[in-house]
Amino acid sequence: MELPLTKNIRPGREPLALDGYAQAGGYEGARTAVREMQPKDVQSLVKESNLLGRGGAGFSTGMKWSFVPMDNAAPHPKFLVANADEMEPGTFKDRLLMEDDPHQLIEGMIIAAYAIQADIAYIFLRAEYTLAFTRLAAAIKECYASGYLGKNLFGSHYSLELYLHQSAGRYMCGEETGLLNALEGKRANPRAKPPFPQVSGLWGKPTIVQNVETLCNIPHIVKHGAQWYKSLSLTAESGTKIYGVSGRVNTPGAWELPMGTRMRELLEVHAGGMKAGLKFKGLLPGGASTDFLVEEHLDLPMDFSSIQKAGSRLGTGTMIILDDHTCPVGMVHNLIKFFAQESCGFCTPCHEGLPWTARILRSIEMGEGHMDDLDLLAQHTVMLRPGNTFCALAPGAVEPLQSALKYFREEFVRHIVDKQCPYRKFRASA
Interacting residues with other proteins (CB under 8 A): 170, 180, 184, 187, 191-192, 194-195, 199-200, 203-204, 340-356, 359, 363, 372, 376, 379, 383, 387-390
Measured from the CB atom, is 8 or 389 closer to other proteins? 389
Strand partners, 208: 80
Measured from the CB atom, is 222 or 393 closer to other proteins? 393
DSSP string across 315-345: TTSEEEEEETTS-HHHHHHHHHHHHHHH--S
Terminal CA-CA length for the chain: 38
Contacts of 408 (CB under 8 A, 6+ apart): 282, 292, 328, 329
Closest CA relative to residue 94, chosen from 136, 122, 58, 62 = 136
Measured from the CB atom, is 155 or 169 closer to other proteins? 169
In whole angstroms, how close is the CB of 387 to other proteins at the nearest point? 6
How many Cα atoms within 13 Å fall on the side-chain side of residue 343? 28
Distance CA 162, CA 283 (A): 38
Measured from the CB atom, is 75 or 147 closer to other proteins? 75
Distance CA 3, CA 10 (A): 13
Measured from the CB atom, is 201 or 301 closer to other proteins? 201
In whole angstroms, how close is the CB of 182 to other proteins at the nearest point? 13
In whole angstroms, how close is the CB of 192 to other proteins at the nearest point? 5
In whole angstroms, how close is the CB of 267 to other proteins at the nearest point? 34
Measured from the CB atom, is 305 or 363 closer to other proteins? 363
In whole angstroms, how close is the CB of 127 to other proteins at the nearest point? 15
Distance CA 193, CA 176 (A): 11
Please report, to the nearest 10 degrees, the dihedral formed by the alpha carbons of residues 349, 336, 399, 246 taken in order: 150
In whole angstroms, how close is the CB of 298 to other proteins at the nearest point? 33
Measured from the CB atom, is 132 or 180 closer to other proteins? 180
In whole angstroms, how close is the CB of 281 to other proteins at the nearest point? 29
Measured from the CB atom, is 71 or 296 closer to other proteins? 71
DSSP annotation of 369: -
Distance CA 54, CA 386 (A): 20
Neighbours of 32 (CB within 10 A): 16
Contacts of 266 (CB under 8 A, 6+ apart): 243, 245, 255, 257, 302, 319
In whole angstroms, how close is the CB of 288 to other proteins at the nearest point? 17
Note whether 51 and 60 are within 8 A (CB).
yes
